Structure 1
Amino acid sequence: MTKRVLIVTYYWPPAGGPGVQRWLKFVKYLPEHDIEPIVYCPSNANYPIIDKTLKDEIPENAIILKQPIKEPYKLANLFSKQTKTISKGIIKEKNKQSIPERLLLFIRGNFFIPDARKQWVKPSTNFLTTYIQDFNIDTVITTGPPHSLHLIGLKIKQKLDVNWIADFRDPWTSIGYHKQLKLTNYAKKQHKQLERKVLNQADHIVVTSPSTKTEFETITDKPISVITNGYDKEKVIVNDLDEKFTISHIGSLLSKRNPEILWQALSEFVNEDENFAKHFQLNLVGEVGEHVLNSLNSYGLSSFVNKVGYVSHSEAVKFQKKSQILLLIEINSEDTKAIIPGKLFEYMVSNRPILAVGPKGADIETIIKQTNTGQFFDYSEFSALKTAIKQLFEDYQNNSLKVNAIGLQRFSRQALTKQLVDLINNL
């Protein structure tokens, strides 16, 4: 017998970026397991990134429910065009923020709790409560961020006897950017209270990393499952690798995610080895923070940078498959140990070596080592990082730069969907 599952998400095509991929793929594969997904999303969302090509991946028979949402980001544009970057996650260093930017961050953090989509909670709850009853929905899944969508699940759970799964693609109160939102003590307390309510009233919690599971286990006794992001079969074919020794970062490179340890190593190689300088190119594919660009310039690397900007998902896959090295960077912070970027899994099946820099004890280190897909360095390992780059360049020169990955199948979207199906059927 087919089960109907309602999925409440903010990000849905034509939204671009990593937030849309997870549930787009689940919706693609759930019907193979006799589960009918019904997606509920905004009809007029103010997405910071658009990728119209992702519309082609929506299954033909998918049921998509849409309702309008009121968002304050449209008003933010009246302050300054620069404030648009905040909705993309790019927050400047404190001493470089304009007065409008500081004001916008304060308003965002203290007047829109838990986030700027909070006004969608009440109308969505009213609409979905009726829909769930009319169409015999057994299970509701909310996915955040934005974490205000979990409040929709919370209110529905309080009204109806349905199973509710709260899916956290990122942590809530421990995520790094919370510290940049100029939260008052009252706002911090409100966030904590809402987080606790959601974690203790959902029937099951899903997270994308072991560290987030460990964090949430201190807040709730409800069952928690780790279902990571993953990779899907890609139709993109690339026949030849880049001729240059390209090190490519795909995705947003925020100002806080600025690995000076890497820039220093690359700068030294450029100055020490003419052959390296002749062949080296750093591809930055996606949004890049101003502080990162300034840092690259200070290390004398600007002339080696190919700043591509945002591209469609299919174009990003091309860069992944043709690059010599794939670069993965995470902020050097205790708060980011739990972050496992979705692009890691696409990197792993691109058959190119991964060079990762992140905080000591990061979950990404475990995955990279288990799958034999690259090397990970924390921010204290300058000498080891430099030695690794030297060896990678030598392998490139000898035409022997390759990967022998193992155990990738468990991160396929089909395998991950099976985990979700088992969870739904056991509620």
Structure 2
Amino acid sequence: MTARPRVLYLAFYFPPSRASGVYRARATANYFAESGWDVTVMRAPQRFLLDVVGSTDEGLAATVDPRIDVVLPEMDYYAWELDIRAYGSFRGNFPFLAKRWHEFKQRFSFPDPYASWGRSAVAEGLRLHAERPFDLVIATGNPFAAFGAAYELGRRTGLPYIVDNRDAWTLDLFTNTDAFPKGHPAWKWERRILEHAAEALYVNGALRDWHAERYPGVAERMHVLLNGWDPDVLPEVPPPSTDEDRPLSFAYVGTLTAVQPVEALFAGFDLMNSESSHTGSTLDLYGHIGFFSGSETRIRSQFGFDTEPEGVRFRGPVSKAEIGKAYADSDVLVFLAGGSKYVTSGKIFEYMATGRPIVSVHERGSAAEELLRDYPLWFVPASLEAADVAAAFAEAGDAARKGDPDLADQARRYAASFTRYQALEAFEQRARALATRSAR
């Protein structure tokens, strides 16, 4: 191994992507670069981010360590290409044959829609490794084609690889059931990848335990790597005003999706706003509606907010680099989440770092509750019924009005133990040991 170990990091969603998992990927790459590694990241091609996702966050891209090399393997856009004018001659003239050929490739290749990107990542990784060898491969998923690429690179080069599960592949996090039927090739591939991986990382203990039960032979190589918040893009948020003549501002920061209890959020807020002492309050929604281009119309229709509900303001996306102002303008933060005991959400760490009151609007049993339990300004409704959500909103509003500085300081001190870099320290040390052994 050279004085500076080399890592190939397969992170499809990496800045300027705005996907939720991009912050974990950015922090991991930056931390390794700052710790003396030569880091090469393979991410999604720009066309995918612009034409399929439909947006980027250039402000976040500017926070990537300039020492990091970024490579953009290409991919097949068949599944996402909706404009017939962009079809190639084969698909344009022989659509049925083109579909059959695409389905054939999917059936006998890696079971992930992004498999073509994974194949390109393998080819590019082998080329770069031949020019100047890597010492370690790390892959973060989803998409899980990154895991398949890491496995293949390990098989062909002998390099150790680590898979980082930001998400679950074979577990449906929103129903707590298997994501694939028995016999689906994803099960075979997950077992194969985990059995050969040097490590597997999970964002919380519940996910780690679920996988350890499924794959007990790999359990000792499974670790929890919590998410966290990023001090470099979240400056200290000043205390909110306690002026009782000013309406309170409740805020949700993040992407609105079809799996969140948005109806419960609006019903509870509307009830609180009409019957409590906090009438005239506003609910600001910062972020995109849906992850992909074209999903906003469908989600707006599903939740019936073609027009803004009373007191609700759709603020639109805000760059990660400018997120501090959104928090500074808010009195109470709303933690809106779908999912179950397996879902933590990286956003909760950032919320806690502000020292603001936090209202939970999600089904009970979320993995985030393990973290929020010791946060002194957490308000959780007894259920998702409108009256219970409204009561939690009102209690959080009372706390914001009181503005107890000691309680806010206690909240920020608690959150200070959850920075991303603190979470990454032990992982980087284990990765360095792996890289050293592989070079012998």
**TM-score, structure 1 length as denominator?**
0.80
Residue 374 of structure 1: aligned partner: 378
Residue 195 of structure 1: aligned partner: 190
Residue 63 of structure 2: aligned partner: 57
CA 378–5 in structure 1, closer or farther in 2 if over 3 Å, else same: farther
Residue 81 of structure 2: aligned partner: 75
Identify the match of residue 303 of structure 1 among 289, 305, 310.
310
Partner-residue secondary structure (3-state), 1:327 = strand
1: distance between equivalents of 2:83 and 2:325? 33
**Residues 1:283 and 2:280 are matched in the alignment:** no
Identity of aligned residues (%): 19
2: distance between equivalents of 1:214 and 1:255? 27
- What letter is aligned with 1:409? A
Whether the aligned pair in 1 keeps the contact of 2:359 and 2:396 (CA below 8 Å) is no
- What letter is aligned with 1:283? D
- What letter is aligned with 1:411? F
1: distance between equivalents of 2:146 and 2:47? 14
Aligned CA-pair RMSD:
3.3
Deviates more, 1:249-258 or 1:57-66: 57-66
Whether the aligned pair in 1 keeps the contact of 2:332 and 2:359 (CA below 8 Å) is yes
Whether the aligned pair in 2 keeps the contact of 1:237 and 1:318 (CA below 8 Å) is no
Deviation at 1:286, TM superposition (A): 1.6
2: distance between equivalents of 1:36 and 1:128? 14
1: distance between equivalents of 2:262 and 2:134? 47
Residue 122 of structure 2: aligned partner: 125
2: distance between equivalents of 1:245 and 1:70? 48
- What letter is aligned with 1:151? G
Whether the aligned pair in 2 keeps the contact of 1:5 and 1:141 (CA below 8 Å) is yes
Deviates more, 1:353-362 or 1:208-217: 353-362
1: distance between equivalents of 2:258 and 2:372? 24
1: distance between equivalents of 2:395 and 2:176? 38
Deviation at 1:264, TM superposition (A): 3.2
Whether the aligned pair in 2 keeps the contact of 1:286 and 1:309 (CA below 8 Å) is yes
Partner-residue secondary structure (3-state), 1:198 = helix
Residue 100 of structure 1: aligned partner: none
**Residues 1:418 and 2:421 are matched in the alignment:** no
Q: Which has the higher contact order (CA 8 A, sep 6+)?
A: 2
CA 326–134 in structure 1, closer or farther in 2 if over 3 Å, else same: same
2: distance between equivalents of 1:125 and 1:17? 23
Partner-residue secondary structure (3-state), 1:302 = coil
Residue 42 of structure 2: aligned partner: 40
Whether the aligned pair in 2 keeps the contact of 1:199 and 1:219 (CA below 8 Å) is no
- What letter is aligned with 2:42? Y
- What letter is aligned with 2:228? G
**TM-score, structure 2 length as denominator?**
0.78
Aligned residue pairs: how many? 390
Residue 16 of structure 1: aligned partner: 18
Whether the aligned pair in 1 keeps the contact of 2:379 and 2:396 (CA below 8 Å) is no
Q: Trace 1:23-422 onto structure 2 (pairs within 5 A).
A: 23-47=25-49, 48=53, 49-72=55-78, 74-76=80-82, 114-176=111-173, 185=181, 189-220=184-215, 221-222=217-218, 223-233=221-231, 234=233, 236=235, 241=240, 243-273=246-276, 275-278=277-280, 280-288=281-289, 295=303, 302-331=309-338, 333=339, 336-377=340-381, 379=383, 385-400=389-404, 403=408, 404-405=410-411, 406-422=413-429
Deviation at 1:360, TM superposition (A): 2.7
CA 378–121 in structure 1, closer or farther in 2 if over 3 Å, else same: farther
1:23-63 deviation line (CA, Å, top 9, x unaligned) = 21122222343332221224435121310112211212222
Whether the aligned pair in 2 keeps the contact of 1:258 and 1:292 (CA below 8 Å) is no
- What letter is aligned with 1:257? Q
Deviation at 1:201, TM superposition (A): 1.9
CA 330–26 in structure 1, closer or farther in 2 if over 3 Å, else same: same
- What letter is aligned with 2:227? N
- What letter is aligned with 1:264? A
Deviation at 1:257, TM superposition (A): 0.5
Whether the aligned pair in 1 keeps the contact of 2:151 and 2:193 (CA below 8 Å) is yes
1:72-103 deviation line (CA, Å, top 9, x unaligned) = 35413559xxxxxxxxxxxxxxxxxxxxxxx9
- What letter is aligned with 1:54? L
Deviates more, 1:261-270 or 1:287-296: 287-296
1: distance between equivalents of 2:180 and 2:230? 42
1: distance between equivalents of 2:305 and 2:74? 44
- What letter is aligned with 1:355? V
Partner-residue secondary structure (3-state), 2:379 = strand
